[in-house]
Amino acid sequence: MTDWGSLIEEEIKKAIGDGRLGNLPGAGKPLKLDDNPYTPDDLRLSYKILLDNDLAPEWILIGRSIEERSARLLENMQRGLRAYKGALNDAYRAAITDAAAGQHRHERAEATWQRAIATFEEAAAVINNEILNYNLKVPQGISHKANFNVQRQIKRLIDAQAQAHR
């Protein structure tokens, strides 16, 4: 029985001899492998071929989806935090002239913020399910992704805003 390597090599040699491989684009030039340090050595060429043809293993597509959803959620959280801080400032300004109105606005701002956090948590749960799926499918040797933690991200956003105002 002939092994596959010999059979394939014979076909390639025959194609070269017939001149069918002489006019390929990039013939005689080194391969551009655009090294990704996270891709295992034995899979780099196959991943490059897939990516060059707009194809990718499922775990890469899941990873892209996670990154896109996480970025959108962070943007929404940033907008929500700015709106919350603006509403609190309005409440404090209103309290200067009318304590009851200021208190009412403050309570409304807090309730709106808590609803926003609940919405963020729901979106994070969807992302975290995708992360679990990704972590189960990613090949060995490639880092797993950590879950999206809404409270940690809110703290980071608050810290970043505080740094920006110093």
Using CA atoms, how far apart are residues 68 and 49, in angstroms rounded to an integer? 23
Using CA atoms, how far apart are residues 103 and 109, in angstroms rounded to an integer? 10
Tally of CA atoms within 13 A in the half-sphere of 71 that contains its CB = 6
At residue 31, does pLDDT exceed 70? no
Listed residue (81, 89, 69, 90) closest to 112, CA to CA: 81
Using CA atoms, how far apart are residues 156 and 150, in angstroms rounded to an integer? 10
Query: Would you place residue 1 in the very low, low, confident or very high pLDDT band (cuts 50, 70, 90)?
Result: very low
Residue spans of the domains in the chain: they are 58-164
At residue 84, does pLDDT exceed 90? yes
At residue 12, does pLDDT exceed 90? no
Sequence-distant (6+) residues with CB within 8 A of 44 are 33, 35, 36
At residue 146, does pLDDT exceed 70? yes
